Amino acid sequence: MNHSERLSAQDSSFVLWERRETPMHVGAVAILEAEPLGSADGGIDAARITRHVESRLHLLPRYRQRLAFTPLEGHPVWVDDAHFDLGYHVRRTALPRPGTDGELKALVARILSQRLDRAKPLWEMWIVEGLEGGRFALVTKVHHCMVDGVSGMNLITLLLSRSPEEPPVVAPAWTPAPEPTPFDLLVSESARRARSGGALARGVLAAVRDPAATWSRLRGAGSAIAQALDAGLRTPGATRLNRPIGPHRRVEWLSVDLASAKQVKNRLGGTLNDVVLATVCGALHRFLAKRREWHTRLDYRIVVPVNLRSPGDEPTGGNRVSAYFLSLPIAEANPLRRYDAIQTSTACLKSSRAAEGIELLTQLADRVGGTWLTRLGGHVIDRLRPYNLIVTNVPGPPFPLYILGARLLELIPMLPLFEQQGLGVAVLSYCGRLEFGLIGDRELAPDLGSLSGALVASFAELETLARSRPGKRPLRRKAGKPPREGALRALQ
The pLDDT-based confidence of 187 (bands split at 50, 70, 90) is confident
Of 130, 125, 133, nearest in space to 156 by CA: 125
> Among 154-158, 214-218, 462-466, where is mean pLDDT lowest?
214-218
> Among 81-90, 321-330, 394-403, where is mean pLDDT lowest?
321-330
**H or E segment and range at residue 440:** strand 433-441
Of 158, 147, 169, 167, nearest in space to 30 by CA: 158
CA–CA dist 322, 308 (Å, integer): 7
Residue 241 near residue 444, CB atoms below 8 Å? yes
CA–CA dist 191, 186 (Å, integer): 9
3-state helix, strand, coil in the chain (%, to 5): 40, 25, 35
Q: What pLDDT is attached to residue 228? A: 54
CB atoms within 10 A of CB 288: 22
Residue 389 near residue 238, CB atoms below 8 Å? no
CA–CA dist 475, 233 (Å, integer): 29
Instruction: Answer whether residue 72 shows pLDDT above 90.
Output: no
Residue 316 near residue 474, CB atoms below 8 Å? no
Instruction: Answer whether residue 281 shows pLDDT above 90.
Output: yes
The pLDDT-based confidence of 487 (bands split at 50, 70, 90) is very low
CA–CA dist 364, 345 (Å, integer): 28
Q: Measured between alpha carbons, how far is residue 306 from residues 280, 331, 354 in Å?
A: 18, 26, 11
CA–CA dist 469, 154 (Å, integer): 39
The pLDDT-based confidence of 486 (bands split at 50, 70, 90) is very low
Q: Which CATH superfamily is domain 5-159 in?
A: Chloramphenicol acetyltransferase-like domain (3.30.559.10)
Cis link prior to 98 (omega < 30° from 0)?
A: yes
> Among 57-66, 111-120, 456-465, where is mean pLDDT lowest?
57-66
Q: What pLDDT is attached to residue 478? A: 45
The pLDDT-based confidence of 477 (bands split at 50, 70, 90) is very low
- pTM comes to 0.85
Q: What pLDDT is attached to residue 8? A: 85
Mean pLDDT of 211-215: 62
Instruction: Answer whether residue 104 shows pLDDT above 70.
Output: yes
Helical ranges in 160-271 per DSSP H: 182-209, 211-232, 258-268
> What is the b/e burial string over 243-264, where b = at least 16 CB atoms within 10 angstroms of the residue's CB?
eebeeebbbbbbbbebebbebb
Mean pLDDT of 77-106: 96
Residue 466 near residue 460, CB atoms below 8 Å? no
CA–CA dist 86, 91 (Å, integer): 9
Q: What pLDDT is attached to residue 482? A: 39
Higher model confidence: residue 452 or residue 371? 452
Higher model confidence: residue 321 or residue 79? 79
CA–CA dist 479, 229 (Å, integer): 22
Per-chain mean pLDDT for the chain: 82
What is the Cα 459 distance to its own chain's centre?
A: 23
Number of H helices, E strands in the chain: 13, 15
Q: Where are the domains of the chain?
A: 5-159, 226-392+419-489
Residue 285 near residue 374, CB atoms below 8 Å? no
- The CATH fold of domain 226-392+419-489: Chloramphenicol Acetyltransferase (3.30.559)
Q: Report the percent of the chain where pLDDT is more than 90.
A: 53
Mean pLDDT of 212-241: 64
Q: Measured between alpha carbons, how far is residue 126 from residues 142, 218, 447 in Å?
A: 12, 49, 26
**What pLDDT digit, counting tens, does each position of 396-450 carry?**
889 999 999 999 999 999 999 999 999 999 999 999 999 999 999 999 999 999 9
CA angle 199, 488, 62 (to 5 degrees): 75
Active site residues: 144
Instruction: Answer whether residue 257 shows pLDDT above 90.
Output: yes
**H or E segment and range at residue 377:** helix 371-384
Q: Measured between alpha carbons, how far is residue 78 from residues 3, 69, 81, 185, 230 in Å?
A: 8, 9, 9, 11, 34
Instruction: Answer whether residue 226 shows pLDDT above 50.
Output: yes
Please name every residue paired with 29 in a beta bridge, in sequence order, or none if there are none.
Answer: 139, 412
Instruction: Answer whether residue 491 shows pLDDT above 50.
Output: no
CA–CA dist 270, 342 (Å, integer): 9
**What pLDDT digit, counting tens, does each position of 369-393 carry?**
566 556 555 555 555 567 899 999 9
Instruction: Answer whether residue 133 shows pLDDT above 80.
Output: yes
Domain pair 5-159 / 226-392+419-489, same fold: yes
Instruction: Answer whether residue 284 shows pLDDT above 80.
Output: yes
Instruction: Answer whether residue 274 shows pLDDT above 90.
Output: yes
CA–CA dist 109, 328 (Å, integer): 27
Q: Measured between alpha carbons, how far is residue 54 from residues 50, 63, 168, 171 in Å?
A: 6, 10, 11, 6
